[in-house]
Chain A
């Protein structure tokens, strides 16, 4: 479903990604862990080209995202992204946040868009808050609306960028719960996270990154219990 080959990214001369190869199968849930500054978020943001890769190739669902002249706006509708800082549109209620791109990008008519948006809000447990503005919602609720907003586009892939890092600890569970349901429903997911519990229990595979490279990857049971690389061991000993 996702294939990343030789991906490099520099920011004003500093190389943040130094040659990443990663492939993700359909229905697979891949967790990306690693210290801050290891390039995890940049990798995710290169997949939908919020960051322009310096070199390398990204292919999603058979479309070369990094190809010349690719219709990037169209390709992005196949990839949902959820951000650490929610980034809900503050001037729209929850429902309007979900319907905006449905109506304007996918040209779904407004009755159908409302309908679809309500179903999505229900799926994340927020059917009752459809008319609430982001400022009236808790962080956990805002993040669930953001997930509903991304899901409404019916993406092939979901990208999660440290989506619980800005949440109060007691709100983390409700967001992870939604993500767990999504994973069980067969969504293809790439999850950059600091939640080791989630990575261990929900992910099919965990990738450990450090210094702009993938150091080690494998099934969570193996990677967490018996890491092969010294760097992985030292990272895990600090966070577990």
Chain B
């Protein structure tokens, strides 16, 4: 029992992780999450609009993209972008490993987000588009002013869920290596374990994730309840 406490809940080891755990690790995790989410929503919205377009030339590439990236393991995409592209094509990303990490996460998450947004757009009643068109609005204007604003509201609960998953999945970027001051939570904790020969930093890392994910889980549940209650 004492041995367990020593190995996993060693306060003197955990204390040493500060302030870096906050100023570096949590900060980088949050930055990676926000950047990837913005990229994912922007690309996801574009893919969703292409996916429901009447033009085959737009619909088809979007469908292929979405299926492809929903079908691939996230870790493989991260490794491919982070190592495969630089080795295979000699691509040199600026600000490594932040840029390839955000790129890989945005690419994969945009596929999931696109499906959520598409479901949101399709949940907007057909009559909304007809009413907008009957007033002389062109298709794009009707989408932008009438359909998408309503769809985004519908899509808030599922998107919050994606954000939560994305936040956790930034830990996979630990495989990309790092530069000074660039570690996210998992990499930071892992390297700390190597330094001190004690596993407590991993427990501290788990706690750092939970401090953010537990409130978000409650938020998702609340949003879900609210959107169901306020459906009309």
Contacts and interface: CB of A to CB of B under 8 A. Distances in A.
Interface of A: 48, 50, 73-74, 76-77, 79-81, 83, 85, 87-91, 100-101, 104-106, 135, 146, 149-150, 153
Contact of B145 (A81, A87, A104): A104
Nearest to B130: A50
Given A83-B127, A87-B127, A104-B141, 15 more contacts: A48-B134, A74-B136, A76-B134, A83-B130, A83-B131, A89-B132, A89-B146, A89-B150, A91-B149, A91-B150, A100-B145, A104-B145, A105-B135, A146-B131, A150-B135
12 contacts: A76-B136, A80-B134, A81-B134, A85-B127, A87-B127, A89-B131, A91-B150, A91-B153, A100-B135, A101-B132, A104-B145, A106-B136
Contacts of B141: 104-105
Nearest to B138: A73
B128 A104 contact: no
Given A89-B146, A91-B150, A101 B136 contact: yes
Contacts of A88: 131
**Most B C-beta atoms less than 10 A away, residue of A48, A73, A135, A153:** A73
Given A83-B130, A87-B130, A101 B137 contact: yes
A146 B127 CA distance: 12
Contact of A105 (B136, B150, B232): B136
Interface of B: 125, 127-128, 130-138, 141, 145-146, 149-150, 153, 232
Interface of B, secondary structure class, is helix
A104 B137 contact: yes
Given A87-B127, A89-B128, A105 B137 contact: yes
Nearest to B139: A73
A79 B133 CA distance: 11
Contacts of B127: 83, 85, 87
Nearest to B152: A91
B102 to A, nearest CB: 32
A76 B128 CA distance: 16
Contacts of A85: 125, 127
A153 B135 contact: yes
Contacts of A104: 137, 141, 145
A76 B134 CA distance: 6
A203 B83 CA distance: 75
Contact of B135 (A76, A90, A135): A76
The 10 closest A-B pairs by CB, nearest first: A87-B131, A77-B136, A101-B135, A87-B127, A81-B134, A76-B136, A105-B136, A73-B136, A73-B138, A85-B127
Nearest to B149: A91
A79 B135 CA distance: 8
Nearest to A135: B232
Contacts of A101: 132, 135-137
**Most A C-beta atoms less than 10 A away, residue of B132, B135, B146, B232:** B135
B131 to A, nearest CB: 4
**Most A C-beta atoms less than 10 A away, residue of B128, B130, B150, B153:** B130
A168 to B, nearest CB: 16
A177 B153 CA distance: 36
B148 to A, nearest CB: 10
Contact of A153 (B130, B131, B136): B136
Contacts of A90: 150
A81 B146 CA distance: 17
A73 B132 CA distance: 10
Contacts of A91: 149-150, 153
**Most A C-beta atoms less than 10 A away, residue of B134, B149, B232:** B134
Contacts of B153: 91
Contacts of B145: 100, 104
Contacts of B146: 89, 100
Contacts of B134: 48, 50, 76, 79-81, 150
Contact of A76 (B133, B149, B150, B232): B133
B136 to A, nearest CB: 4
